[in-house]
Structure 1
């Protein structure tokens, strides 16, 4: 279980560092040159490493814990933006970082042992159908949807990736069988769709509302499904603390999403 916590915290930190690296590159290049800037490419590598760490964390931790910790990357971004991007923190940012920290501590302390429940037989089918619905919705919203609506699709895409990664872990297949697993393709499609739609949401509106919508969906949806379907559990007597922790983490992340550091 401690390996899972280390991986989740590592993913949180790496995601935050990657965001700052990409922002640093955007300040030193324009147009297409941004995406080939060494710091931007390093940020993309960081995103990949963070995703792998999140998959490792899902092997031993409930989804609501992993997703909440990953959302804490917004706090990491704000803290790193101070010395790297020379941004001055607002009092609201400082308070929000504290609220997120307390929320994540409560969430982490409330997690029960790893679930051994096998996903229901219908879970894979439902996931594939939902993935198809989200893809269709994304296609329809890509050109005309508002920034927040597109960001919600991005959050659903990343939620599918997290749920798929958890379901693959709960299966009994070997690594060489993964290409034939429906959940493997849900992870690929969900992750790719999430990245594409989040980028599109930033094109169509301000970073704050889009990022807030993304993380609210990405924390709440997988966490709820994990508890309701996949057997994620809370330590006895810690139910209220878990709920308060998730609410605090999400609320703090919504505030931090509007910080100048995220832009």
Structure 2
């Protein structure tokens, strides 16, 4: 069952990143004269390839749910990040980026890390630490998710705060997905539906934060932090709230921890590479331009309402 879970997780990651890749290719074909205009939306909606890309991304989530039904969260999260290799391939073959030692080394770390996690995987569980620990953990995860919106008018809210918020938002989605699968295993469909709703909400907030961050920072600064947070947070919480015991794994958990760190290191290095950053920025070019235009518009409004300096007679 573990092998099937890993296959589903890697498959989900491939679908997620295939969606980004297709959007990147399609964004290059949309004329700049449509940027920031309603005609852009109509143009993309009428474009079969854009719609297919979106549907492919949505199809990844059911595979992620299947992965969590067969494998522990500790294993699934690192596997979900492996699809970055696909974006590297696209950046090299379609955008003309040149891979170097960083890119090759990153791929090697991801492969070794995922293989190590698969080898030292803990047992999948459907039990948890109880309502109170889960509530506390989710409350702590929620704080950075909503922080950019609470402090929206403060400088840096859409920068560093938004980057961190996107990672924690995607982490919430992973945790909610795990809770959803546990409820499905227990036959609690109503509770599972509630977790489904929270997963959808957190995914939406995470995407909005990601787009806001990409509108102000280059992808090479946004994606490493975002991917690191969305992998690390669920993995750390897995033994605490889902009782995924690491002590019974090879080396008393040492091999597992080392493998997770290898995978995370590879993900961070690869996400911060120019080749992957170019693909992400191309895929979300229109959204990024929209955010930048909104920032400029707000700045102009702020300047226009600023009081004129007082001049003494």
TM-score, normalised relative to structure 2: 0.75
Q: CA 1:75/1:142 → structure 2, altered by over 3 Å: closer, same or farther?
A: farther
For residues 179 and 191 of structure 2, the distance between their equivalents in structure 1, rounded to whole angstroms, comes to 14
Tell me which residue corresponds to 2:110. 100
For residues 89 and 152 of structure 2, the distance between their equivalents in structure 1, rounded to whole angstroms, comes to 32
Tell me which residue corresponds to 2:273. 259
Tell me which residue corresponds to 1:237. 250
Tell me which residue corresponds to 1:203. 215
Range moving further from structure 2, 194-203 or 131-140: 131-140
The answer to whether residue 146 in structure 2 is matched with residue 136 in structure 1 is yes
| Equivalent of residue 202 in structure 2, options 158, 173, 190 | 190
Runs of 4+ in 1 over 6 A off after TM superposition: none
Check conservation: 2:145, 2:206, Cα contact below 8 A.
Answer: no
Check conservation: 2:158, 2:212, Cα contact below 8 A.
Answer: no
Q: Secondary structure at the match of 1:72?
A: helix
The answer to whether residue 261 in structure 2 is matched with residue 247 in structure 1 is yes
For residues 119 and 165 of structure 1, the distance between their equivalents in structure 2, rounded to whole angstroms, comes to 16
Tell me which residue corresponds to 1:22. 23
For residues 249 and 103 of structure 1, the distance between their equivalents in structure 2, rounded to whole angstroms, comes to 4
The answer to whether residue 73 in structure 2 is matched with residue 63 in structure 1 is yes
Check conservation: 1:14, 1:47, Cα contact below 8 A.
Answer: yes
Q: CA 1:173/1:119 → structure 2, altered by over 3 Å: closer, same or farther?
A: farther
Tell me which residue corresponds to 2:189. 175
Deviations along 1:20-72, one digit per CA (max 9) or x if unpaired, are 11211221114253754544333322221122211211122222211111111
| Equivalent of residue 91 in structure 2, options 81, 95, 112 | 81
Q: CA 1:122/1:176 → structure 2, altered by over 3 Å: closer, same or farther?
A: closer
Range moving further from structure 2, 114-123 or 250-259: 114-123
The answer to whether residue 234 in structure 2 is matched with residue 222 in structure 1 is yes
Shift in Å, 1:75: 1.7
Q: CA 1:90/1:132 → structure 2, altered by over 3 Å: closer, same or farther?
A: closer
1:90-129 alignment, distance < 5 Å: 90-123=100-133, 125-126=135-136, 129=139
Q: Secondary structure at the match of 1:89?
A: coil
Check conservation: 2:181, 2:192, Cα contact below 8 A.
Answer: no
Check conservation: 2:12, 2:80, Cα contact below 8 A.
Answer: yes
Shift in Å, 1:256: 1.0
Q: CA 1:149/1:60 → structure 2, altered by over 3 Å: closer, same or farther?
A: same
- The aligned length equals 261
- 5+ long unaligned stretches in structure 2: 279-313
Tell me which residue corresponds to 2:171. 159
Q: Secondary structure at the match of 2:71?
A: coil
Shift in Å, 1:153: 0.3
Q: CA 1:59/1:89 → structure 2, altered by over 3 Å: closer, same or farther?
A: same
- 5+ long unaligned stretches in structure 1: none
Q: CA 1:63/1:142 → structure 2, altered by over 3 Å: closer, same or farther?
A: farther
Shift in Å, 1:4: 1.1
